[in-house]
Amino acid sequence: MKKVFILLCLLLALAYAADAHVIKYELDKLNAGQVFWKYTLVGYEHIIPLGFDHILFIACVFLLNKSLKQVVIQASMFTIAHSITLGLAMYGVIKPPPNIVEPLIAISIVFLAVENFFSTQVKPWRLVMVFLFGIVHGMGFAGALSQLGLPQYAFAAALISFNVGVELGQLTIILLLYFLLARPFSARVWYRKAIVMPISAAIALVACWWTVERIFFV
């Protein structure tokens, strides 16, 4: 229970400080190996520590599952979806407006957090929703990556590396939640009532605030 309280406090404290889509770097002429490592690191940093909204999204996905395999499957659906829109946006095929994308990202988190109250198991249609929300989040990733830019001489490699970093960041969050919450507590009868629902409620409140903030104050 102490761990749950600490997690709730962190969620509320970080909500005000989170700036999930601002990445500022200076591009230098890099060789192929440097491009791979640099953009993998950028992708990872966009989740940990900069991507607090994406962390909460993954947490919502995690909380409805007791199976690590199911979580990884859903996270993979999310990755496939955001990779599609990220690629389309960075190649200039689509130009998603941030004033629409950012509130939608917050709303997607609210949706999954609230669903955790009414569902006790993962249903097939949730995979569809995670995929659709991944499409939206990919547009948010594109907004961040466009601030950094991609080297024209290694455009595809940098884009792929960024996605690799994002995936590694997501897997880190999943493993942390698994070892902190699911593995020690998921078999307990009070797990859902004492852990899943309070954390989901805190996430929903934070995401509701983000929704209002991104619609009216940004």
What class, spelled out in words, does domain 31-216 have in CATH? mainly alpha
- The domain segmentation of the chain, as residue ranges, is 31-216
Q: What is the pLDDT of residue 12?
A: 44
Between the alpha carbon of residue 135 and those of residues 11, 38, 153, 199, 205, the distances in Å are: 24, 24, 27, 25, 23
When pLDDT is averaged across residues 195-206 and rounded to a whole number, the result is 96
Q: What is the pLDDT of residue 3?
A: 53
SS (H, E, C) 73-90: HHHHHHHHHHHHHHHHHH
Render pLDDT for 96-136 as a digit per residue (tens, 0 to 9).
899 999 999 999 999 999 999 998 887 888 889 999 999 99
